[in-house]
Structure 1
Amino acid sequence: MSDAAVVLDDLRDEGAELDGLVGGLLQREWALDTPAAGWSVAHQIAHLAWTDAASLLAVTDADAFAGEVEKALASPESFVDEGAEAGALLPVGELLSWWRDGREQLQQALRDAPVGVRFPWYGPPMSVASMATGRLMETWAHGQDIADAVGVTRKPTARLRHVARIGVRARDFAFGVRGLDAPGEEFRVELTGPGGELWVYGPESAPQRVSGAAIDFCLLVTQRAHRDDLALRAVGADADRWLDIAQAFAGPAGAGRPAKGA
């Protein structure tokens, strides 16, 4: 099975798991506040549906997607919130159908895409695997906000390896988006997966290192938890700085979440 097919299967399963959570919510629970300021459960699903729609457009109509990029450039600080707000106003049944249909259409479009093709995006062009990985990361991260809002503890899965990988690969971006010079050397990152397996990135001999549980690293790089609330260890000044600013998503530097004890 190709790398892209593996990620697409995991994206499908991640969406299905979140669907199982929100599909059983009461009407009033869709209005619950999530840890993202100003966003309810409905906003979170609306954002996922909106971004799936943008992804589908990028895959199927590059010219039309270019127009969406222009809109984003015209209002970089608000266009994401505006998309979520519009979707959150839909009736719950209609919002769910939009999200479900969009997930299925995007899955099929990515599976049908020619080998080696790259799609336009708000940042660098995306391959099938990178597009699917980005969607999985967002589905998991926004699903975490929803789980926190409704008081559900999710069991970590091996699908987190995709989130961890994109977090590691986004290291230099996290520095650059804050106007900082990226470290000149690779770090060694050693993460313990949900089944006790070790996920490793970077040269074994690297002097600067990050280690800890994969779930903690994924919560950090998606900015769903503050570093102080996670059991991650850094060796080296640059590695330590990275844990303060890490982000796995494109766009401006995220504000992150306050520490629980703050």
Structure 2
Amino acid sequence: MVDLKDLLTDLTDESEDLDALVAGRPPEDWARPTPAPGWTVGHQIAHLAWTDHVALLAATDVESFLASVTSAPDPSRLVDDGAEEFLAPPPDLLARWRAGRAALAAALAAAPPGEKIPWYGTRMSPASMVTARIMETWAHGEDVADALGLVRPATVRLRHVAHLGFRTLGHGFAAHGLPVPTAPVRVELSTPDGATWAYGPADATDRVAGPVRDFCLLVTQRRHRADLALVATGPIAGAWLDVAQAFAGPPGAGREPQAGTGAVPRDGVKA
């Protein structure tokens, strides 16, 4: 089990890496379109700031959090409206994101052991909330990097995204209205330093193998399976790669294959 303090350190490091990617860039870079339809680099950071804000409400003021959910004019636009609400000139947006993520980290660090924090359609422990924030910060950071024409190296923090991706296997099927498999799946992921991260029973018939970064791109729906070096063995594993999503909520739209062009796809999903 990962210690909450260690998780919070990894969340801080993941956030600071993305912060360094955007801080000091000219306004035209913040206005670049990202793979998520209608979202610029600024929208991506605004979304993270908004999500930190509502997560802080959930952790410290449950009534206000629930009121924000029930009062939403159009629940299907909650994420887009949140990003638009928090969108601001880059210096102001950066300051708000930095303050918000620091406040959330402090609140989660102080949460009583065993507490379950309400979230959209579920309840989460503080550790699960931090893991989800790491996943989302990394995934939206990939969208930002795509918009800026950059490829970020894999870090050891991807173990959190990979673990979450494995744990949400059943959710991916359920979100798409499919029966949740009962047979186990083995996942073996190679890391840049030559290690292997493994999940699931070693004798499972259904298996997924490949680079850890590719698996994380798949479960966050940042790339289509056709553009990734993932190998699925068995019908359950094969079907999973079509529906995998590590984020909560309804099924994401996913990404279209890049068809070997090397171009960043311009349609995507906001998680």
Deviating beyond 3 angstroms after TM superposition, the runs of 4 or more aligned structure 1 residues are none
1:175 and 2:173 correspond: yes
1-structure distance, mates of 2:97, 2:166: 29
Contact kept, 8 Å, 1:71 with 1:79, in 2: the verdict is no
**Paired position in structure 1 for 2:76:** 77
Using the TM superposition, give the Cα deviation of residue 76 of structure 1 relative to its aligned residue in structure 2, in angstroms: 2.9
Q: CA deviation at 1:2?
A: 5.5
Instruction: Give the alignment's TM-score, normalised by structure 1.
Output: 0.96
Matched, 1:211 2:209: yes
RMSD: 1.3
Q: Separation in 2 of the partners of 1:78 and 1:237?
A: 35
Deviation at 1:69? 2.4
Distance 1:71 1:248 in 2: 26
Return the match for 1:261 from 256, 259, 265. Answer: 259
Q: Distance in 1 between matches of 2:63 and 2:223?
A: 37
Q: Write the distance in 1 (CA, Å) between the matches of 2:162 and 2:177.
A: 23
SS of residue paired to 1:158: coil
Correspondence list, 1:112-261, <5 A: 112-261=110-259
Task: Find the aligned partners of 1:33 and 1:261 in 2 and give their Cα distance.
Answer: 21
Whole-angstrom CA distance in 1 between matches of 2:248 and 2:255: 17
Aligned position for 1:104: 102
- How far apart, CA to CA, are the structure 1 residues paired with 2:179 and 2:198? 24
* Matching residue of 2:11: 11
Alignment correspondent of 1:36: 36
Question: In the aligned structure 2, how far is the partner of 1:71 from the partner of 1:18?
Answer: 32
> After the TM superposition, which residues 83-102 of structure 1 pair with which residues of structure 2 at under 5 Å, given as runs?
83-88=82-87, 90-102=88-100
Identity %: 54
Q: Deviations over 1:124-183 (max 9, x none)?
A: 211111000000100000000000101111111000000011111111111011110011
Aligned letter for 2:95? S
**CA-to-partner distance for each residue in 1:30-56, whole Å, 9 max, x for gaps?**
000001111000000000000000110
Structure 1 segments unaligned to the other structure (5+ residues): none
In 2: Cα distance, 1:100 partner to 1:21 partner: 14
Return the alpha-carbon distance in structure 2 between the equivalents of residues 196 and 15 of structure 1: 26
The 2-side partners of 1:177 and 1:200 are apart by 25
Partner residue in 1 for 2:48: 48
For structure 2, the residue ranges without an aligned partner over 5 or more in a row are 261-271
3-state DSSP class of the match of 2:202? coil
Q: When the two structures are superposed, what TM-score results if normalisation uses the length of structure 2?
A: 0.93
Q: Using the alignment, how far apart are the partners of 2:71 and 2:138 within structure 1?
A: 26
